[in-house]
Amino acid sequence: MILINGEARSEISAMDRGLAYGDGIFRTFPARQGQPLSWRRHYAKLAHDAGVLKLAMPEADVLESEVRAVCKDHGACAVKIVLTRGAGPRGYRYAGDERPTRIVSAGPLPAEAIENRSRGVKVRLCSLRLAAQPALAGVKHLNRLENVLARAEWQDPQIAEGILCDDQGHVISGTMTNIFIAVDGALATPGLDRCGVAGVTRERVMQAAEPNGISCMVTTLSWTDVQGADEVFLVNSLAGAWPVRDLNGEARVPGAMTRAVQQWLDVEDDA
């Protein structure tokens, strides 16, 4: 089921700026029994990203009712929201009075999103380097060709994710996940002020660390830091936390810290 500006439809204008320029943002997150999980966080993140691009944001209750409508007939599903600047004439300039396009849809929750939590994942290091664009860093916008190119680097279905470095060789994220390492009982995750997407689940882990007595540092990570870590795990809203059990061919043991983080994420999130 797809709702486009609240109507059950499956198509958008070919003149939409979301298509022409990737002029928009999106979110993907799970729902259970018709209830979107961490909804307030996802709305807040969408609003933040809309602010960066100066997109008009739909009212919270309108958007929430559309989200609930698309997932009401599913037990568990993946909800996707796309918000674009809407249709406009040719040219990069926008007038500011465009009518945004919002696309709310639900699809199946991939089985491996859950299964990988217990069995862990095999990951590889991608050769594509993320470009540094501070004006867009952290935002989940529709300009995702880097992710598409990186994901096209491997075909092996046993490999669940690829790790991306930036132009300076620092580790930033997976193609669709954020990355954490555990070293000596503390967590660390890369800063995302030059590139990458500052996801909601990354934020949840960072915020849950302190009340659980664990320090979590946002820092610069090299590939050597990741290789030398006690544990490595990957997070996103659908995946939760995936322990890495094979890092570019090197066997790893999913550990206690990753299991603890999974428990933090299992706690109902009303934030």
Q: How many residues bind a second copy (CB under 8 A)?
A: 56
Taking the C-alpha atoms of residue 171 and residue 208, their distance in angstroms, rounded to an integer, is 23
1 binds a second copy (CB under 8 A): no
159 binds a second copy (CB under 8 A): no
105 binds a second copy (CB under 8 A): yes
Part of the chain binding a second copy (CB under 8 A), chosen from 65-73, 75-83, 198-206, 228-236: 75-83
Measured from the CB atom, the residue of 91 and 213 that comes closer to a second copy is 91
148 binds a second copy (CB under 8 A): yes
Of residues 37-66, those binding a second copy (CB under 8 A): 53-54
Around Cβ 64, how many Cβ atoms within 10 Å? 17
Structure tokens belonging to residue 148: 């598409």
Measuring CA to CA, how many Å separate 13 from each of 16, 20, 99, 179, 235? 5, 11, 12, 36, 34
Taking the C-alpha atoms of residue 50 and residue 192, their distance in angstroms, rounded to an integer, is 18
Q: How far is the CB of 186 from a second copy (least distance, A)?
A: 31
Those residues with Cβ within 8 angstroms of residue 157's Cβ, 6 or more apart along the chain or in another chain = none
Tokens 């690829």 label which residue?
A: 162
Q: How far is the CB of 75 from a second copy (least distance, A)?
A: 18
Q: How far is the CB of 253 from a second copy (least distance, A)?
A: 28
